[in-house]
Structure 1
Amino acid sequence: MEINTILTPVLAEKLVVLKDNIKRFPKVSIAFSGGVDSTLLLQVAVSVLGDAVLPITVNGAMLPKSEFAEAQALAKAIGAIPLVLEADVFALENFVKNPTDRCYHCKKFIFTQIKDAALANGYEVILDGSNLDDMKDYRPGIKALGELGVFSPLKESGLTKQDIRDLSAYYGLPTATKPAMACLATRIPTNTPITPAALAAIEAGEDFLKSLGLSQYRLRLLGDTAKIECDPDDFTTIIDNRLALIDTLKNLGIKSITLDLAGYNCGNMNG
């Protein structure tokens, strides 16, 4: 990846701190999803530690297939080959039941597998891409990371989400402008059971929205009703393609499709 932008003095200093935080360890494993945060973390770690970095990607129904494929390509471009673990999240009762602390149970389940795989391959240090802004949102999964001893160097280095996007642009990473992503289960209201069919419908619907070139979007599933959230600037695109969208979703068993006039809002299903 080429470096193609100039850093501000403040951001340059944060990058120095980030590199120093990673240099504390002779080798590290990284929970790598291919999202904005973990991609920057992998890039910087490889620049500091070279091949002493093992990215670990957990693949399962909660991760869109397109995201998994993009993650593999990104890691290869950075110069690292991920270890891929398959996770059956439907074997986890507290994932299926979808309680308010589902994310805690799911993170504990997934990161336990990551930790076991890292240790089995000789990596005692596990890093993740949590950042400073994550502390402002409702994220019960962060508790699980602490319990398992996962280190979050982006957060510890004082990096916000915007800092991470700016550094990603500095390194020439395609994720610099990538829309925020989250587990597909976040599209389902708390205490509504999560099923394979529900996640498949959400994934297919969001793949269609992605194909339209939307800047940011979510397809929330409320029973047999799909609620689309997107930037208000993209409302016209939704309306122009509504017939194809209706066909796509109704073929998946969705009976009603709505457009949220309030637009996209991160965390709408929290609590």
Structure 2
Amino acid sequence: MANQTILSPELNAKLDQLKVSLKDFSKVSIAFSGGVDSTLLLKVAVDVLGENVLPITVNGAMLPGSEFAEAQALAKEIGVPPLVIEADVFALDDFVRNSSDRCYHCKKFIFTQIKNAAIENGYRVILDGSNLDDMKDYRPGIKALGELNVMSPLKAAGLTKQDIRDLSAYYGLPTATKPAMACLATRIPTNTRITPEALKAVEAGEDYLKSIGLHQYRLRLIGDTAKIECDPADFETIIENRLVLVATLKDLGIRTVTLDLAGYGCGNMNS
């Protein structure tokens, strides 16, 4: 993983602060999803602490299978194969009901399992990849992290999402340009019950969008209607592939497929 960019003095100072904070721990466990943030955190932690780092990846219906596979490969490339734990989010009523605080309950449920697994393996410090920009968005799950004493060193070092992408490029990480990813449940309107079938439809639809070359997209599921959000520059690609896309989704119970002319918008399902 060769360096791909030169760091500004400000960003270099933030990186140094991150390294110093990690050095304060003899060993850490990291909630690792394979996304932009947790991948950078894992890379820097391994550079600082070597083998005294345990990435923990949660596998469950809220995570696309392709993302889980990528996380496995990334951790191994960095040099620390992750501990995988299974999470049955459908056993959590607060997840299924999908109220406005679903993310809090789900995050509490998942990170409790991460914390227990970390402690069982001799790790008492648990880190996550939250960054400074996360404070600007609607993130009820952050409260759960505080209650479980999960630490967010990227945020503490003042790193923004762009900082993290720049540092990822500096380290030559493949996630430097990876699009933002969120739990599949965020594609379902608040107060609409979440079912395994709904998440499977969202995952299949988004896998197809990825396969035809889209970079940033969401497939929102409103009843039996799929609403696709993407960069307006990709509208033509959607139209060119519409017949296969519609057939793919109709096989999964979707009756109507629409394209949002406003384009992709982060947090469009937030209440």
1:235-263: per-residue Cα shift (whole Å, max 9, x none)? 00000100110110111110000000000
1:40 maps to 40
2:137 maps to 137
1:166 maps to 166
Runs ≥4 residues deviating over 3 A: none
Amino acid in the other structure paired with 1:130: S
The answer to whether residue 249 in structure 2 is matched with residue 249 in structure 1 is yes
2:182 maps to 182
The answer to whether residue 270 in structure 2 is matched with residue 270 in structure 1 is yes
2: CA distance, partners of 1:116 / 1:217:
34
2: CA distance, partners of 1:21 / 1:206:
37
Amino acid in the other structure paired with 1:255: R
2: CA distance, partners of 1:60 / 1:27:
26
Instruction: Give the TM-score taking structure 2 as reference length.
Output: 0.99
1:110 maps to 110
1:20 maps to 20
1:154-200: per-residue Cα shift (whole Å, max 9, x none)? 00000000000000000000000000000000000000000000000
2: CA distance, partners of 1:55 / 1:211:
28
Amino acid in the other structure paired with 1:126: I
Amino acid in the other structure paired with 1:140: P
1:74 maps to 74
1: CA distance, partners of 2:110 / 2:138:
19
Amino acid in the other structure paired with 2:242: R
2:214 maps to 214
Amino acid in the other structure paired with 1:92: L
1: CA distance, partners of 2:88 / 2:48:
34
1:6-41: per-residue Cα shift (whole Å, max 9, x none)? 111111111000111111100000000000000000
Q: CA deviation at 1:214?
A: 0.6
Q: CA deviation at 1:4?
A: 2.3
2:152 maps to 152
1: CA distance, partners of 2:171 / 2:211:
26
1: CA distance, partners of 2:100 / 2:182:
16
1:84-124: per-residue Cα shift (whole Å, max 9, x none)? 00000000000000000000000000000000000000000
1: CA distance, partners of 2:167 / 2:266:
22
Amino acid in the other structure paired with 1:218: R
2: CA distance, partners of 1:242 / 1:210:
14
2: CA distance, partners of 1:2 / 1:196:
41
- What secondary structure, in the 3-state scheme, does the structure 1 residue paired with 2:247 have? helix
- What secondary structure, in the 3-state scheme, does the structure 2 residue paired with 1:34 have? coil
- What secondary structure, in the 3-state scheme, does the structure 2 residue paired with 1:244 have? helix
Give the % identical residues: 79
1:100 maps to 100
Amino acid in the other structure paired with 1:265: G
- What secondary structure, in the 3-state scheme, does the structure 2 residue paired with 1:220 have? strand
1:51 maps to 51
1: CA distance, partners of 2:50 / 2:237:
44
Unaligned runs of 5+ in 2: none
2: CA distance, partners of 1:215 / 1:54:
30
- What secondary structure, in the 3-state scheme, does the structure 2 residue paired with 1:258 have? strand
Map residues 229-244 of structure 1 onto 2, 5 A cutoff. 229-244=229-244
- What secondary structure, in the 3-state scheme, does the structure 1 residue paired with 2:218 have? strand
Amino acid in the other structure paired with 2:233: D
1:84 maps to 84
- What secondary structure, in the 3-state scheme, does the structure 2 residue paired with 1:14 have? helix
Instruction: Give the number of aligned pairs.
Output: 271
2: CA distance, partners of 1:191 / 1:255:
21
